[in-house]
Amino acid sequence: MRHPLLAAAALLGLFPFITGCGHLAPSRAAGVATGYLSHQLCSAVFVSGRSPESAYREMIEPLTGSVALFMRHTVDRGSAEVRASFAGVADSRAVYRAPWGCTIVNDAAAIEARPAVTDNTPAPALLPPIADAGIVEPTDPDLKRALDRAFEEPLQAPHRWTQAIVVVHRDRIVAERYAPGIGIDTPLTGWSATKSVVNALIGILVRDGHLDVSGPAPIAAWSDPNDPRHAITIDQLLRMTSGLDMGQSLTSSAFTAFDPTAQMVFTEPDTAAVAQRAPLAHAPGMVWNYTNANTQLLSRIIRDHSGGTPAATLAYAHRELFDKLGMRHVTLEFDAAGTPIGASHMWAPARDWARFGLLYLNDGVVGGQRILPPGWVDYSARHTPGADDYGYGAGFWTNRGDGAGARYRIRAGMPADAFMARGSNGQYVVIIPSEQLVIARFGNSWTQRGDIESVNRLIVDVIKALKVGSST
């Protein structure tokens, strides 16, 4: 997920020159900046429990630079909302309402009117406990040193701000550590790691015969066989090869806030409606282009097939996935129209993210019950042609290919069979079947390439420590 405040620096100078409408309008781009600020700060404060000051310092301030002079925000704990404004051009309001997390709204009544979640009692977990109640301190000195190195902080920017690391080996936590103010149950943002959760929910619908990944995606706006988008499959949405002309969500630039996908997430009340209106830029299946629009369409499909309301969707996600894994502190956020923001907006503690990784480590089986269809894990980790520079599968990043991205990670020491849920600023759930290992790493890291160098080093250190420890 790219960061729209990067565009704000350009906005001020561009106002005299940009007269476009639609996504090129300066007011729309400014709205992305305020939407980003209000929503992310709202979630950090009211979902994660961070102080507004520390959350702003780690999540927002590195993006603002001189633009901070033109940005204003307020945090109202009484009404559980955050307001943000930009130079008198745009303002946004995000409100927190349990269990929905934060939503950018113009009218909080729209959120209050959502059907209630009548049963909040989680079903018994199928996944056995992965640790006792307390923090698991590593007993092996090499494993401790691996965590020490992973939490090292540069003396000056760009900062890494590692928040949590959980190492699970053979289904048990063998080491974990948390930054000050972060605990075992602190929900942490997954950013685009949320896309991997959407993969799981789609897989469950496939398992039950509701969807066929190779058939046309069930999107009513594309139902006419003469519509060229009618040919887009669920597989192509998962693999980012739909061909939709809907910007890209992979890299950042000074013009990110002008990108239609950033505007979709941070200014539009109905994200999927925006995505389904996009025309084709390429024939389906021909070009890889990482865009959040694909995942928002999958999120709407999940909603439509799990009851059609946000309450039914949330209940479905808990009943079929979260509860079975023992993920007790998950907040899946929704847009104002009631569609999960599956592209980027799930918060969960590092232990819960690690539990999610175990589902894929164990081939989609938990406690003897198959959650994902046979072969789904291998399908998800299989390399997508055209994604060679990055190494992308179907909702997961993967080393199972011969592209530059996979080769880079493998040369750095990440095993060739590894694949991962991955989000901006250093959110990782790395799954390594050959080592029976899941490593969850979360933080607010502003180093290049999402702190992948440090994550690679952590993986190398952990694998070496475990092998040395098992031989002594």
What structural domains does the chain harbor? Answer: 4-112 (no CATH), 162-244+286-471 (3.40.710.10)
Q: What is the DSSP letter of 16?
A: T
Closest CA to 405 of 312, 262, 288, 319: 288
Residues written for the chain: 472
Whether the CB-CB separation of 202 and 302 falls below 8 Å is answered with yes
Q: Using N-to-C axis directions, what is the helix angle for 26-46 and 260-267, rounded to 10°? A: 50
Whether the ω angle into residue 158 lies within 30 degrees of 0, i.e. cis, is yes
* 261 in Cβ contact with 341 (< 8 Å): no
Q: What is the pLDDT of residue 324?
A: 98
CA distance 83 to 91: 7
Are the C-beta atoms of 32 and 267 separated by less than 8 Å? yes
* Segment 405-413 long-range contacts (CB within 8 Å, at least 24 positions apart): 409/452, 409/456, 412/452, 412/453, 412/456, 412/457, 412/460, 413/456, 413/457, 413/459, 413/460, 413/463
Rg of the chain over all Cα atoms, to the nearest angstrom = 21
State the pLDDT at residue 311. Answer: 93
Cβ atoms < 10 Å from Cβ of 243: 23
Element (H, E) at 165: strand 162-169
CA distance 177 to 149: 12
pLDDT tens by residue, the chain, 472 residues: 445 554 444 444 333 333 344 555 567 788 888 999 999 999 999 999 999 999 999 999 988 877 788 899 999 999 999 999 998 889 999 999 999 999 999 665 566 666 556 667 888 999 999 999 999 999 999 999 999 999 999 989 999 999 999 999 999 999 999 999 999 999 999 999 999 999 999 999 999 999 999 999 999 999 999 999 999 999 999 999 999 999 999 876 556 778 899 999 999 999 999 999 999 999 999 999 999 999 999 999 999 999 999 999 999 999 999 999 999 999 999 999 999 999 999 999 999 999 999 999 999 999 999 999 999 999 999 999 999 999 999 999 999 999 999 999 999 999 999 999 999 999 999 999 999 999 999 999 999 888 999 999 999 999 999 998 776 5
Angstrom distance (rounded) from CA 291 to CA 296: 9
